[in-house]
Chain A
Amino acid sequence: MNRNVSLTASLLRAALCLAAALLLGAVVIAVAQKSATAPLTAYAALFKGAFGSALNWSQTLDRTMPILLTGAGVAVALAAGLFNIGAEGQLSVGALASTVVGYSLKGLPAPLLLLVSALAGMLAGAAWAFLPAYLKEKRGAHEVITAILLNYVAQKTTRYLASFPLKDPTSGGVQRTPEVLATFPRLSPQYDVHVGLIIAVAVVVLIAVLLRRTVWGYETRAVGEGAGAAEAAGVPVSRVRIVAMLVSGALCGLAGTLEIFGPTRYRFFPADFYGAGFGFDGLAVALLAGGSPWGVFPSALLFGALGAGAENMDFEAGTPKQIVAVVQALVILAVAARFVARRRRPAAPSPVPEAAQSAASGPTPEDGP
């Protein structure tokens, strides 16, 4: 198909999904606050909180950064026909691994320390993604099931590690690791948003280009769109799928690293880190983007804005910020409904494997502990 046409079409579909979600969300707000005008006030405050000032923009972009990476990660797996629902677990494992490196390697110059830490985060994320991929290819275990289970393992394990063996002895009652020895520089002294944003944007662009223009991307997409034909043509289908999951996990691990090494956010790994929700946001964002890495940009910005604007909506309009989670869930539902509608017309298969449809209604960001 003409790629421009399909891009326009998928943007339009995403916009329709968003519009439907906002409309349904408005009904929820109107009912909850018993006021017909409440939705307008709430959305205005939400918008202002997301984009009203440079500071708001900065907060929005700061939240967008990790979602860009997890969204691109999930999109890579989707391209190969896999649904990486383990993004959240990979993110937390990557975050912890990079933190450990970040506070252990004393004496390294800051840029090198950041680089090594990021590599550690990516490696850990990839390793966590390898398990479901390997079990699927060699044992036939469904990657959605194993990845969901591994999310729990990641959650409990990182919490235990940060609470006991790796706990900062000087942090007293606070269950967390020691602080890392370097952080990414801010882009501007007044605002939180840091160099990680540039890294995230560059990585998404890189992924989009690689998927489209390289032999690796060609084989990945071939396996995702027509595994039977790819196999008959001699493409090593299992290996391609495993590599796609490794890349997906690495990007999620990198997202965790950027969170920890931001100048203001954490700088250490808190025991209850899991539940930051950026992994699950990445799933929703990749689905909303229809699996396209380019589509991850607007989708991630949307979710970043919803997250950043929620506080202001609560503060200014008195609308509970949890409503944002409702809107996000409605977006996912709208996307899922679209897949269902498209499945009924066999001529237009969805770009997302079946598993995605069942999983899309699964955990939301609020599912964390």
Chain B
Amino acid sequence: MPHPPAEPPVTAAPAAATADAVRAPAVSLRGITVDFGSVRALDNVDLELKPGSRHAVVGENGAGKSTLMKVLFGLLRPDAGAVLVDGIEQRFSSPQQAIEMGIGMVHQHFELIAPFTVAENVVLGAEPGSALLLDRRGAEAAVAALAKESGLPIDPAARVETLSVAAQQRVEILKALYRRARVVILDEPTAVLAPSEARDLWAATERMARAGSTVVFITHKLDEVMAHAETVTVLRRGKRVLTTAVTDTDPARLAAAMVGGEAPAAAAAAAAPSPQPAAAPAGEAVLRVRGLTVRGRRGEVAVENASFEVRAGEILGLAGVDGSGQVDLIEAVVGLRRASAEILSLGEVDLRSLSVAGRRAAGIGYVPEDRHHRALVLPFTVDENAVLGRHREPEFAGAGGWLRAGALRGFLTEKAQAFDVRGAAPGVPARALSGGNQQKLVMARELSRKPRLLLASQPTRGLDFAASAFVHDALRAERDRGAAVLVQSLDLAEVLALSDRVAVMLAGRLVAVLDAAEATEARVGALMTGAAAA
């Protein structure tokens, strides 16, 4: 579709209002309290959002950040407290009302219709044109104009499914701006972005703030707070413990406020991760891959001719922007995806003809990216989840195929203690655990078989830094035990902090494998975005 000329008058588009014409309303949350059953998720929390500024909200998992944002966006009605917009109390019963008051939200998981174009997605629900006929050209022109003035470059005629994650995020922001959002909530916006993409995003938020909008963002990264927010609010266990100008604080103090009391060493370390190289030099290749090609769900080539090895006693980090084929590569090694390869072996074992169960028996441990769909059966009890994949072993399955419930409970109790999985009492469903404790349960299960090869995909996604530090320590301990460890993460800082070697993927190809010494953020960042050749 040709790019439409910008001439047609953009009559029906509500976003015709230019970005700097309207100042954001002053929004304040007063005494917000939210109870989930017997759990108090938010306790008398205040939040003042000044127009034209960027406000960071930080806190550990379960501190109430997302809950607070849901209240602001009308997704949750607080049990007590008030939302004031320009001094007038509002009772949002749906996001629709929040949107009408100029509040927009970009969720961590985008809510876009993949086969629709950018313009169609942006105007959805507020379409220009008559009831029967969508003014496609008008919509595209309006979106193009909005993209230009807000510094969020996008092709309005492109189909969303063809866009990168960063571009999809821009579409989500444009969706909010098109509805005249002057207060934009971003939930962990850089979790899925490469460093250069994150820089573009921050530049756009700066521009929005200069134009008078308010940007609220949730993050786990304190360096982002320091660099890109004017004000920061720290939540801990549902309470607001600190609100301050970032110029009056530093990461150590923020970390201390998040975890309470003095900043523990683990928190400080996680706040500024530093590489801890392997104590011993890496041994022989455990996983050997040559000429691995994987087809995607729709038949496209997702991984093309990848060759690499992972050695005993090393962590190989896998870097790349989202959708570069990392997940496909790991799933192909686990046996979840059909793939062709000249060599795909674990030690002496040829993996190619083996099922997932066979590969696991050969010594593969796997910590999937998607905890809720790949790692855990959420409605299952923690006991049942703790043995998933090992449930056929004689230890857990008695004669005649009866499960040994007592053995399951005993195994769970032992592992929950060893891995500090809080709340994992026998009989509790896995969905009742927090994200960090779910991940600890998965790690406990996957490490319990002492795998020769451990594959970990996004192992700390969505975890607070105490849980992240725990996971990182566990991965390093596996390496030091002599396992070959492959860690994939979209967080480049995490890859660099963990890895002894770094493999970089770009558009389905493995473009480089670097030693830790060569793998600087600038170099890897350039490789993963295609800005530099290997």
Taking Cβ atoms with an 8 Å cutoff, the residues of A that contact B are 1-3, 213-219, 221-222, 225-226, 228-236, 347, 349, 351
> Can you list 22 A-B pairs with a CB-CB distance of less than 8 A?
A3-B427, A214-B403, A215-B391, A215-B392, A215-B402, A217-B403, A225-B377, A226-B373, A226-B378, A229-B376, A230-B377, A230-B388, A231-B336, A232-B334, A233-B360, A234-B355, A234-B358, A234-B359, A234-B361, A234-B389, A235-B357, A349-B379
State whether B356 touches A228 (Cβ < 8 A). Answer: no
Q: How far is the CA of A141 from the CA of B15 in the complex (A)?
A: 45
A216: nearest chain-B partner, CB-CB: B401
State whether B429 touches A214 (Cβ < 8 A). Answer: no
Chain A: minimal CB distance from B394 (Å): 11
Say what secondary structure dominates the interface of chain B. mixed
Mask, B359-384, CB within 8 Å of A = 1, is 11100001010100111111111001
State whether A232 touches B368 (Cβ < 8 A). Answer: yes
State whether B391 touches A229 (Cβ < 8 A). Answer: no
Q: How far is the CA of A1 from the CA of B361 in the complex (A)?
A: 30
Chain A: minimal CB distance from B241 (Å): 27
B360: nearest chain-A partner, CB-CB: A234
Mask, B7-24, CB within 8 Å of A = 1, is 000000000000000000
- B377: which of A216, A222, A236, A351 is its contact (CB, 8 Å)? A222
With contacts A214-B401, A231-B356, A234-B360 taken as known, whether A222 is within 8 angstroms of B380 at the C-beta atoms is: yes
B88 CB–A CB distance under 8 Å = no
Chain B: minimal CB distance from A213 (Å): 6
State whether A233 touches B403 (Cβ < 8 A). Answer: no
With contacts A215-B397, A222-B380 taken as known, whether A229 is within 8 angstroms of B388 at the C-beta atoms is: yes
State whether B389 touches A233 (Cβ < 8 A). Answer: yes
With contacts A229-B388, A232-B334 taken as known, whether A221 is within 8 angstroms of B380 at the C-beta atoms is: yes
- B378: which of A213, A225, A234 is its contact (CB, 8 Å)? A225
Q: How far is the CA of A272 from the CA of B427 in the complex (A)?
A: 49
Q: How far is the CA of A218 from the CA of B355 in the complex (A)?
A: 19
Q: How far is the CA of A215 from the CA of B392 in the complex (A)?
A: 7
- B380: which of A213, A226, A349, A351 is its contact (CB, 8 Å)? A226
Taking Cβ atoms with an 8 Å cutoff, the residues of B that contact A are 334, 336, 355-361, 366, 368, 370, 373-381, 384, 388-389, 391-392, 397, 400-403, 405, 427-429, 431-432
Q: How far is the CA of A215 from the CA of B408 in the complex (A)?
A: 12
State whether A228 touches B357 (Cβ < 8 A). Answer: no
Chain B: minimal CB distance from A291 (Å): 11
A222: nearest chain-B partner, CB-CB: B377
Chain B: minimal CB distance from A262 (Å): 33
> Which residues of the other chain, B, contact A351 by a CB distance below 8 angstroms?
379
B397: nearest chain-A partner, CB-CB: A215
> Which residues of the other chain, B, contact A226 by a CB distance below 8 angstroms?
373, 376-380
Say what secondary structure dominates the interface of chain A. helix
State whether B403 touches A229 (Cβ < 8 A). Answer: no
Q: How far is the CA of A236 from the CA of B391 in the complex (A)?
A: 13
With contacts A215-B401, A234-B360 taken as known, whether A229 is within 8 angstroms of B334 at the C-beta atoms is: no
> Which residues of the other chain, B, contact A230 by a CB distance below 8 angstroms?
377, 388
Other than A226-B373, A226-B376, give 8 A-B pairs with Cβ distance below 8 A.
A1-B429, A214-B400, A218-B391, A222-B377, A225-B379, A226-B378, A228-B370, A234-B357
A219: nearest chain-B partner, CB-CB: B391
Q: How far is the CA of A234 from the CA of B336 in the complex (A)?
A: 9
State whether A232 touches B356 (Cβ < 8 A). Answer: yes
Closest 5 CB pairs of A and B: A234-B357, A233-B389, A226-B377, A228-B373, A234-B356
A347: nearest chain-B partner, CB-CB: B431
Chain A: minimal CB distance from B429 (Å): 5
State whether A229 touches B373 (Cβ < 8 A). Answer: yes
Chain A: minimal CB distance from B389 (Å): 3
Most buried by A among B334, B378, B379, B405: B379
Chain B: minimal CB distance from A360 (Å): 20
Chain A: minimal CB distance from B399 (Å): 11
> Which residues of the other chain, B, contact A221 by a CB distance below 8 angstroms?
377, 380
State whether A232 touches B375 (Cβ < 8 A). Answer: yes
> Which residues of the other chain, B, contact A213 by a CB distance below 8 angstroms?
402-403, 405
> Which residues of the other chain, A, contact B366 by a CB distance below 8 angstroms?
232
> Which residues of the other chain, A, contact B391 by a CB distance below 8 angstroms?
215, 218-219
Q: How far is the CA of A351 from the CA of B357 in the complex (A)?
A: 26
> Which residues of the other chain, B, contact A1 by a CB distance below 8 angstroms?
379, 381, 428-429, 432
Most buried by B among A217, A218, A231, A347: A218
With contacts A232-B366, A234-B357 taken as known, whether A215 is within 8 angstroms of B403 at the C-beta atoms is: yes
Q: How far is the CA of A222 from the CA of B380 in the complex (A)?
A: 8
> Which residues of the other chain, B, contact A229 by a CB distance below 8 angstroms?
368, 373-377, 388
